[in-house]
Amino acid sequence: MLLDWVINMVRKMIWSGSVYFFVIMILGLILRWKMVASFLPQFQFVHLVHAHSHVAFLGWVFFILLAILLQFGLPESARESRQLKVFFYLVHLSVIGMLISFSLEGYAFFSILFSTIHIFLSYWFAYYFLKHQRKDLPSIARRFFKGSILFNLLSSFGPWGLAVLGAKGLATSPLGNVSIYLYLHLQYSGWFLFVIMGAAYMILHQKGIIYSESKAQIQFSIQFIGVIPSYITSILWYGLPTYLIWIGYIGAVFQFAGLILFLSSVWKLCLKQEANRLGKLLLNFSFLSLSAKALLELGGASPRLADMVFQNRQVILGYLHLTLLGFTSSFLLYYLYQMSAKQRSSLFSGAVYLYVFGATAMIILLFLAGLLQWIGFGQGPWIWEALFASSFIIFLGATFLLMSMQPSYSTLERESAVSYPGQ
Ligand code: HEM
């Protein structure tokens, strides 16, 4: 009975995240549709972009990261608490509030109110998680999970900074972008990345796959040190003093080294523990996207290139979707896949191929659109139509994927009950 409730909480997080993934894909599709034809004119494009990105970070990714942290990082007693249940409903309230208010009015009173509630909820979760974190986790996972919580807390300086600037009428100044980039960087290169890395080590640990503990500890240290200074390389366009630029370069090298070390020690082992070729495909796609992200970040550390990238919205969007769809979302889908039953519906294999194909096409098309802009070649309507088509393929693939996995989370009880370490 108790276990049922406990697992229910992880399952509730998984279901919640999955619903928000579906919602952001619909919003993404509407946005792409608006770029090829007049559609839903009563909703402003920019308002829907804000709804899409906020629900993506604070609904889809947030809930699945919570599921991972709960499943691997908290003892039964902490997973069953009433406080966590209240927290769960309040997070829904803030995400649904953001979805509606951003879609209708963009940045305004209610959307800011609901986003602020989410920040305070994540502060509470940080306190709760650190207070109750399991002591018997492998130390590498414990360190990554703690690090992730720290970066999630620090990322909130971005919105607070933006609020201060807004009060002075400077929200749309370059300093406003400095705050937004701080938030984005600490979210996906800190909070998201560190939970995922901790989860990858936990999956290996649970499957009894031996990895080099000392290499993993070195990787953690390098990765951790690199996060904050490497932020500087995402604001090189701001015109910073030379010494700060050098700190940024050093951070970028640390970040790159950390990612390479992670990929070189974990990629092969993750594939080894995964028997299914479709599971392998999701993992390969996620880690390949992470490798491309690492290379781009190293290249983007050159001020000239950084300036060109900053001026080119399509390249920024290509980089963001490579990181958030290619790497982060694909790994989270892999986690969901791991949590679902082994006997999956026939929808599953077609869905994985559609998702991977659509996401690859969308990311390549976004970079291509940016490239065409750079070389002064006009972007014909075909590129926006192709982007819409690729978005539709992702939508189909990911929806079938989520549908084919959902009914089988009922086996989570059985699987998790035997696989929690030390339980
Ligand atoms: C089917 C999948 C997706 C589609 C079709 C899609 C589409 C779009 C579109 C059309 C835009 C705005 C483009 C513009 O301003 O010109 C956008 C922006 C964005 N998307 Fe997505 N997206 C998808 C998945 C995701 C996912 C999974 C995430 C995060 C986990 C994400 C995060 C973002 C962010 C952060 C922005 C930038 C927002 C801004 O600049 O304010 N997207 N997306």
Is the CB of 391 inside a 6 Å radius of any atom of ligand 1? yes
Q: Residue 43 has what pLDDT?
A: 96
Give the pair of three-digit tokens for residue 330.
Answer: 């694909």
pLDDT means per 10 residues, the chain with 423 residues, are 55 95 98 95 96 98 97 90 96 98 96 97 98 95 98 98 92 92 97 98 94 96 97 90 94 96 96 92 98 90 78 93 98 92 74 97 97 84 96 97 72 43 34
| Residue whose C-alpha is closest to residue 339's, from 18, 1, 2 | 18
Classify 173 as helix, strand or coil: coil
Give the pair of three-digit tokens for residue 319.
Answer: 């980089």
Is the CB of 44 inside a 6 Å radius of any atom of ligand 1? no
Gap between the Cα atoms of 144 and 94, Å rounded? 27
Distance 16 CA to ligand 1 centre (A): 19
Q: Which atom of ligand 1 is nearest to the CA of 21?
A: 27
Gap between the Cα atoms of 267 and 67, Å rounded? 22
H/E element holding 265? helix 242-273
| Residue whose C-alpha is closest to residue 405's, from 23, 61, 18 | 18
Is the CB of 32 inside a 6 Å radius of any atom of ligand 1? yes
Lookup result for tokens 């609901």: 114
CB 387 within 8 A of CB 366: yes
Gap between the Cα atoms of 336 and 68, Å rounded? 10
Distance 315 CA to ligand 1 centre (A): 12
Is the CB of 180 inside a 6 Å radius of any atom of ligand 1? no
Cβ neighbours of residue 21 closer than 8 Å, sequence gap 6 or more? 60, 329, 398, 402
Q: Residue 7 has what pLDDT?
A: 53
Sequence-separated contacts (24+) of 406-411 with Cβ below 8 Å: 406/15, 406/18, 406/340, 407/345, 408/340, 408/341, 408/343, 408/344, 409/11, 409/14, 409/15, 409/339, 409/340, 409/341, 410/341, 411/340, 411/341
Is the CB of 419 inside a 6 Å radius of any atom of ligand 1? no
Q: Residue 420 has what pLDDT?
A: 39
Distance 318 CA to ligand 1 centre (A): 9
Q: Which atom of ligand 1 is nearest to the CA of 45?
A: 15
Give the pair of three-digit tokens for residue 35.
Answer: 């770029």
Q: Which atom of ligand 1 is nearest to the CA of 395?
A: 1
Distance 217 CA to ligand 1 centre (A): 34
DSSP-assigned states of every residue in 195-215: HHHHHHHHHHHHTT----HHH
Is the CB of 178 inside a 6 Å radius of any atom of ligand 1? no
User: Which phi and psi (to 5°) does residue 106 adopt?
Assistant: 65, -150
Cβ neighbours of residue 199 closer than 8 Å, sequence gap 6 or more? 68, 72, 141, 331, 335
Q: Residue 80 has what pLDDT?
A: 76
Distance 32 CA to ligand 1 centre (A): 10
List the residue whose alpha carbon is closest to atom 43 of ligand 1.
28
Q: Residue 304 has what pLDDT?
A: 76
H/E element holding 337? helix 330-339
Pocket test for ligand 1, best of 162, 317, 365 (most atoms within 8 A of CB): 317
